[in-house]
Structure 1
Amino acid sequence: MELIELGLDDWFEKQASRLCGAGLCLARVTAVDRGRYVVRNEHGEVPAELTGKFLHAAASSLDMPCVGDWVCVQYHDAESHASIHDVVPRRSFLRRKSPGKNIDFQMIAANIDVAFIVQSCHFDFNVRRLERYLVMVNEGQIEPVVLLTKTDLVGAAELERMLANIRAAGITARILALSNVTGEGVEQVKQLMLPGKTYCLLGSSGVGKTTLINQLSGHDVLETGAVSGTGEGRHTTTRRHLVALDNGALLIDMPGMRELGILSAGEGLDDSFADIKALASQCRFADCSHGNEPGCAIRKAIESGELNAEHYRSYLKLKAESDFNEMSYVDKRKKDKAFGKMVKTVLKQKR
């Protein structure tokens, strides 16, 4: 494959020319698994590791390579393996709060053009979770498309109800309904995917992401798990990896996410809840809290039924979560910097 077939364009080439010096080549990260990397260039894929200099210079988890990144690498031993020296600036990204109590970012993937947010019509359908995914995708400057899978397990009326619930939540993203069993809707997804563009599949475990990749590719490129007697899928993907489809599109599969913590998602919230932002701009007072103030457009819209109350509560919950995690993250970074300064001072005193 040529690098252009791996998604390289003039923008990335310009960024890379400033970083990749003599002896370094450009490659794309195609897999990450517990700190181990696989990179690909026009000659093929090889394992790669980070240099000590890179690790020392990395200021936070955001600096670490992730699937989809373009990186400056040095090849060794007849290009059998490589070392990663630098990460080319990202044009788009997926990140979330790290799972658990630790307040930090976790990079998921980068340089994605379109994110397919996958929900199963049968067990997984949840508008509030869909809103969380949309915040993550919009924050990373990625175009979202919603995929409703397993339509063969629900009736037409139930599917229409789900579509209506999505639109009632102010979600304007494109929606495609499909079935991996009957094949209905799969061709529509294929038509959206263009050569040299990068796509990803986001969703819970067992919603049919891996099966869909095999459908899109026309053959079994990834292992799938058995489906239970109730129609509920099982988790199969264990690592994030990028695959090239026969039509030239690039697709990132990734494990299902149990936690979707929101951190520093200001723009993502505004884009995902654009209807609320637009209404808030119509309030009489610029600092309206949307409580008891006169002339509150938000309250008026809820009372008239123009704005879904549950949708607004979801916005408030996500905003509060993002703000709280942001304050905690800033505090953590201050403590980390203070600790780093203390260590440097102690080391200087010992010299």
Structure 2
Amino acid sequence: MCLNRMEMILENLGYNKVLEEYRKAHHLDSFGIGRVISQHKDRYTVKTEDGEFDAELIGNLRFTATNKNDLPAVGDWVSLSEYDENKALIHAVFPRKSTVERKAVGKLGQTQIIATNIDFGLIVQSVNRDFNINRLERYLTICNASKIEPIIVLSKVDLIENQQLEKLMAQVKDRVKNVPLFAISNQSQIGIEKLKSKLTKGKTYCLLGSSGVGKSTLINTLTGTHFMETGEISQSIDRGRHITSHRELIVFENGILIDNPGMREVGITHNSDGLATTFDAIQIMAKDCKYSDCTHTNEKKCAVLDAINHGGLDFDTYANFIKMEKERMHFELDLKERKKKDKDFGKMIKRVQKERKNNKY
């Protein structure tokens, strides 16, 4: 099946045959199609073949959503209709091929969508105060849970000596296997062309990292423009001030970039597949444990603990795995508790409605 002119234009946004087949199968041909490039509360900016539209949801789509994750997010493909100049209504959200999410801060058993329909996660860490391999493994777990390919980017390498950089890169390679690693500087342009060569037109890259590591500056460097506002470098902490307050999708010749607000907390959700992939060496060792439900903390004949004692497993890697596994288990308990509360609340509403009905007669 050949793509028509509209699809060729949308192809730069990541549109493909699977999306077009879904569109036709669900009789959405009469609507326009676009991709959400930014979100501000309940308003969305959607990019289409005809330009950008300020869009909002139709009432039915809003009221049938069971939670916030059912609503459009940056990266989503949507069907829409124009009702005024540069204004549109969103009628449907297409199925997501991937969803990057984390534990919602301060909310019991809930997740927060970072972005959708992502192909690669660009995990950005600066080599000065931000460098932390434990945090790096957290971002890797988010990528692996979402089934997207991670790429590690060490930024601000102009701030340290080559010998120190080589040491940091060796630490990363020792803990993280088979993940592309780039060392770059937005100031001196070191490594930028190598990173650009890794990017592919039509693919979507989500930038992940803490505040001030240079994500927005990297977007400006890669695109050769000033899409994103950046802060001045603070001399006291050697990093830029946090600027990005919402998610933005930017299309350029080498691909599609999604910037995110810096995340102070990278909470782990209940997805165990992400942890299993990030710490695959531990998962392989665990097969030799005496007990199938071994927690790898105090059991006798635990293959994982034996590996630590005999130098076959780095203790820091093990400690980070155990910490995140406990977080995952706590999230599962919180999720069950929230579902129980929602169920009890639903029963109460039905009981009140029944009592009110009976009192009328």
TM-score with structure 1 length normalisation? 0.93
Q: Does the aligned pair in 2 maintain the 1:135–1:265 contact within 8 Å?
A: no
Structure 2 counterparts to residues 6-25 of structure 1, below 5 A: 6-19=13-26, 21=28, 23-25=30-32
| Aligned counterpart for 1:35 among listed residues 29, 42, 47 | 42
Report what 1:207 is aligned to: 213
Q: Is 1:273 aligned to residue 299 of structure 2?
A: no
Structure 2 counterparts to residues 193-342 of structure 1, below 5 A: 193-230=199-236, 231-245=238-252, 247-291=253-297, 293=299, 295-342=301-348
Q: CA separation in 1, counterparts of 2:250 and 2:297?
A: 49
Report what 1:3 is aligned to: 10
Report the identity percentage.
42
Q: Does the aligned pair in 2 maintain the 1:205–1:234 contact within 8 Å?
A: yes
3-state DSSP of counterpart to 1:2: helix
Report what 2:68 is aligned to: 61
Kindly state the Cα deviation for residue 122 of structure 1 after the two structures are TM-superposed: 0.9
Q: Does the aligned pair in 1 maintain the 2:196–2:254 contact within 8 Å?
A: no
Q: Deviations over 1:252-294 (max 9, x none)?
A: 0111011111111211111111111111113344333435555
3-state DSSP of counterpart to 1:6: coil
Q: CA separation in 2, counterparts of 1:235 and 1:281?
A: 44
Report what 1:115 is aligned to: 121
Structure 2 unmatched ranges of 5 or more:
1-7
With 225-234 and 323-332 compared, the bigger mean Cα shift is at 225-234
Kindly state the Cα deviation for residue 300 of structure 1 after the two structures are TM-superposed: 2.1
Structure 1 unmatched ranges of 5 or more:
none
Q: Deviations over 1:112-131 (max 9, x none)?
A: 11110000001100111111
Q: Which one-letter code corresponds to 2:33 in the other structure?
A: L
Q: CA separation in 2, counterparts of 1:193 and 1:156?
A: 25
Q: CA separation in 1, counterparts of 2:27 and 2:324?
A: 39
Q: CA RMSD in A?
A: 1.9
Q: Is 1:94 aligned to residue 129 of structure 2?
A: no
3-state DSSP of counterpart to 1:204: coil
Q: Does the aligned pair in 2 maintain the 1:28–1:68 contact within 8 Å?
A: yes
Report what 1:183 is aligned to: 189
Q: Which one-letter code corresponds to 1:126 in the other structure?
A: N
3-state DSSP of counterpart to 1:83: strand
Question: For the structure 1 residues 90 and 278, does the alpha-carbon distance in structure 2 shift closer, same or farther, using more than 3 Å as the test?
Answer: same
Kindly state the Cα deviation for residue 157 of structure 1 after the two structures are TM-superposed: 2.0
| Aligned counterpart for 1:138 among listed residues 139, 144, 157 | 144
3-state DSSP of counterpart to 1:137: helix
Question: For the structure 1 residues 20 and 175, does the alpha-carbon distance in structure 2 shift closer, same or farther, using more than 3 Å as the test?
Answer: farther
Question: For the structure 1 residues 20 and 299, does the alpha-carbon distance in structure 2 shift closer, same or farther, using more than 3 Å as the test?
Answer: same
Q: Is 1:26 aligned to residue 33 of structure 2?
A: yes
| Aligned counterpart for 2:82 among listed residues 75, 84, 94 | 75
Q: Deviations over 1:212-245 (max 9, x none)?
A: 1111111222221111225311111121010111
Q: Deviations over 1:22-81 (max 9, x none)?
A: 643221110012232111111111111122211221112221211001112222125x21
Report what 1:106 is aligned to: 112
Q: CA separation in 1, counterparts of 2:47 and 2:331?
A: 35
Pairs aligned (count): 349
Kindly state the Cα deviation for residue 248 of structure 1 after the two structures are TM-superposed: 4.5
